[in-house]
Amino acid sequence: MSLKKLVAGNWKMHGLSADLAEVMAIADASRQYPNVDVALCVPAILIERAARAVPGFAIGGQDVHYAEKGAHTGNISARMLLDAGAALTIVGHSERRDALRESDEEVKAKATAALSCGLNVILCVGESLEIREQGKAVATVEAQLGASLPDGIGSHAELAVAYEPIWAIGTGKVPTSPEIGEMHAAIRTRLRDRFGTAGEQVRILYGGSVKPSNAGEIFVIRDVDGALVGGASLKADDFMPIVAAAARVSLP
């Protein structure tokens, strides 16, 4: 079964007021591709302005706190993201798992809090190069999923999983198509184990050096339901050809 593709940009710590023009260009151009869902996860401080600038287009956060409110200096709750106009959030990005020592349990709590508040979630998993070279990539990602997937998915917000091999992020290196296919099939099995038939509807995105030049070959891999795109999402000229590639392999 093929799911509608989702192409989400992760702007990381890039973007100032002047870059809202790029958000508008991407939102505008995305209207040409109604058979693809497109989203941009921008720095928190830009969410409200971006959401106001492009009504109806999905703007997201890059992280969320698991608590509803309280003494968590510098953090942002799911309700705050929604209140600012976000429709989704990334959780468990490897840059946060690594730099901030975010655990699977914390990622699970974040995903659960966001979904129950009505925010769509992109939950990231992925292995290091060392783990891949040891032949333990699939087992490692399965363990990450086991501990970081929420226990259930309600019907009012959508979960997606992004497979992002750490060694492919921002490096220009990409796993082979069979490697991506093997991992996405394993993730699909875990999603079915956890959520039953609802697990069939969870989109599995690939992330890691997706570019206009390789998007087409990635999107035809079985169980690749879209992409999480970092560097190539900052400019409409780079991002829109990736969206167009997703549209080409999708039903009209």
Catalog residues that contact ligand PEP under the rule CB under 6 A.
Answer: 10, 164, 169-170, 207-210, 228-232
Q: Which is nearer to ligand PEP, 33 or 163 (CB)?
A: 163
Q: Which is nearer to ligand PEP, 30 or 233 (CB)?
A: 233
Q: Could you say which of 93, 95, 106, 184 is catalytic?
A: 93
Q: Are 224 and 206 in contact (CB under 8 A)?
A: yes
Q: Which is nearer to ligand PEP, 63 or 164 (CB)?
A: 164
Least distance in angstroms from the C-beta of 148 to ligand PEP: 16
Q: Are 39 and 58 in contact (CB under 8 A)?
A: yes
For residues 229 and 234, give the distance between their C-alpha atoms in angstroms, rounded to a whole number: 9
Q: How far is CA 74 from the centre of its chain?
A: 22
Least distance in angstroms from the C-beta of 209 to ligand PEP: 4
Residue 220 CB neighbour total at 10 angstroms? 12
Residue least distant from ligand PEP (Cβ): 230
Q: Which is nearer to ligand PEP, 119 or 228 (CB)?
A: 228
Q: Are 225 and 6 in contact (CB under 8 A)?
A: yes
Is 93 marked active-site? Answer: yes
* Bridge partners for 174 per DSSP: none
Q: Residue for token digits 């890691």?
A: 208
Q: Residue for token digits 């209140």?
A: 83
Least distance in angstroms from the C-beta of 152 to ligand PEP: 26
Q: Could you say which of 102, 106, 142, 164 is catalytic?
A: 164
Reduced to 3 states, what is the DSSP secondary structure of residue 209?
Answer: coil
Q: Where are the alpha helices (DSSP H) in the chain?
A: 20-30, 44-53, 78-84, 94-99, 104-117, 129-133, 137-148, 177-195, 212-219, 236-248
Least distance in angstroms from the C-beta of 215 to ligand PEP: 11
Q: Which residues are catalytic?
A: 93, 164
